Structure 1
Amino acid sequence: MARYTGPKSKIARKFREPIFGADKALEKKNYPPGQHGPNKRRGKQSEYSIQLMEKQKAKYTYGILEKQFANIFEKANRLKGITGENLLKLCEARLDNVVFRFGIAPTRSAARQLVGHRHIVVNGNVVNIPSYTVKAGDVIEVREKSKSLETITASLASRKNNFDWLEWDNASMKGKFIISPEREQIPENIKEQLIVELYSK
């Protein structure tokens, strides 16, 4: 299972956003990494650089590597509607992201691990592919044998967010993907139009 395994605090500092979750390093040093610290004079970014940064931010946020991200963009481009919005909708429909949104895991990387280790069931069947596309009406639940796992119970105990396009029952550890979210419902700070412009060159 291909995934990003490099330093996360440096990436969060690069974008000045906690894209991997709460990060003390980002709180202490809210400026890009580099040996000259916050006083380094940084040249004006080119249009291409700004677009590339936005694409990288989206990739790191959802934990998707380059080739897979390009494939998702191609799929988004073929769908009806606005390509940028379709791109984010497809990212949101990934099983690892849905598990994270439900609060079963505290981060997307933890959600990816739970899916890969066969702790998640979709419509009664164990699915261990993090990139599996969840469809409207699909029921996602924690596997019976895994309901007592400390990582899952701890994450659900501190669950805060409720999303309009998801329905979750804490008692049965079961949820439903009601419908694909609209752009304004997706909380990620991503300027998807810049990504579309980058791929359109």
Structure 2
Amino acid sequence: MGRHIGPVCRLCRREGLKLFLKGTRCDTPKCAVERREGVPGMHQFRRGKASEYSIRLREKQKVKRYYGVFERQFRKYFDLASRRPGNTGDALMALLERRLDNVVTRLGFATSRPQARQMITHGHITINGRKLDIPSYLVRPGDQIQVKDREHSRKLAASNLSAEGMPPVPEWLDRSGTEPPEGRVSRLPGTQDISLPVTPQLIVELLSR
């Protein structure tokens, strides 16, 4: 599994919005997007108007960095979405939203998607009572996501659930207050459940060239 090992605050500054790559820290005054203006690098204040290609590229980069996927995997999601009936852009965002690392984050068991990926690969999360260490697993309606019933896993999830600034659980997921914490996928996510401000149609236009 590939991962970004550089400074992640530069990614948020480049896109000009909070991607919440550091979890609840992004809602504090330490957030680099609010403290420093412009994109990272020496020539941050560039002249000229962004081209049509640049606008579409930035939309794609926002989604890739928000969900933590690289180009090859993102192309696979797009190919899968293009074969589904309906709007390709909406299908693409729904697929990304169904990733297990995203679901663990949305349930509040992790404060960020990078942390959720680490929890999954380290065996802290189970699906339908069975251990699963694949962050890209696509959840389905009826799936039960549970923190593993051991002391270290329970403490880790409890500290994240009690963190300040955690967003509410989306409507397509249900979180129960049992010990250990548990969540359930009640339905597939829709366009109204996407929290990232992005225009999927621009991504479709870019990748359909």
1:65-104 mapped onto 2 (5 Å cutoff): 65-104=70-109
Could you report, residue by residue, the CA deviation over 1:50-83 in whole angstroms, capped at 9, with x for unpaired residues? 1111111100000001100000000001111110
Cα shift at 1:185: 2.1
Cα shift at 1:10: 1.0
Unaligned runs of 5+ in 1: none
1:131 aligns to what? 136
Compute the TM-score of the two structures, normalised by the length of structure 1. Answer: 0.93
Cα shift at 1:97: 0.4
Provide the secondary structure at the position in 2 that maps to 1:167. Answer: strand
Sequence identity of aligned pairs in percent? 41
1:168 aligns to what? 175
**Structure 1 residue 34 and structure 2 residue 34: aligned?**
no
1:136-175 mapped onto 2 (5 Å cutoff): 136-145=141-150, 148-158=153-163, 159-172=166-179, 173-175=181-183
**Structure 1 residue 47 and structure 2 residue 52: aligned?**
yes
Cα shift at 1:148: 5.0
1:178 to 162, 165, 186: 186
Distance of aligned partners of 1:70 and 1:137 in 2 relative to their CA distance in 1, 3 Å threshold: same
CA-atom RMSD, angstroms? 1.5
Q: 2: distance between equivalents of 1:146 and 1:95? A: 22
Q: 2: distance between equivalents of 1:56 and 1:137? A: 31
Q: 2: distance between equivalents of 1:146 and 1:181? A: 32
Preserved CA contact (<8 Å) 2:148 2:154: no
Provide the secondary structure at the position in 1 that maps to 2:126. Answer: strand
Preserved CA contact (<8 Å) 1:52 1:195: yes
AA at the equivalent of 1:16: G
Cα shift at 1:31: 1.8
2:62 aligns to what? 57
Preserved CA contact (<8 Å) 2:147 2:153: no
Q: 2: distance between equivalents of 1:57 and 1:92? A: 14
1:100-119 mapped onto 2 (5 Å cutoff): 100-119=105-124
AA at the equivalent of 1:11: L
Q: 2: distance between equivalents of 1:181 and 1:126? A: 24
Could you report, residue by residue, the CA deviation over 1:121-160 in whole angstroms, capped at 9, with x for unpaired residues? 0011100000011011101000101565543211111344
Q: 1: distance between equivalents of 2:51 and 2:167? A: 39
Instruction: State the aligned residue count.
Output: 199
Compute the TM-score of the two structures, normalised by the length of structure 2. Answer: 0.90
AA at the equivalent of 2:32: A
AA at the equivalent of 1:117: H
Provide the secondary structure at the position in 1 that maps to 2:150. Answer: helix
Cα shift at 1:30: 3.1
Preserved CA contact (<8 Å) 1:4 1:65: no
Q: 2: distance between equivalents of 1:180 and 1:168? A: 15
Provide the secondary structure at the position in 2 that maps to 1:2. Answer: coil
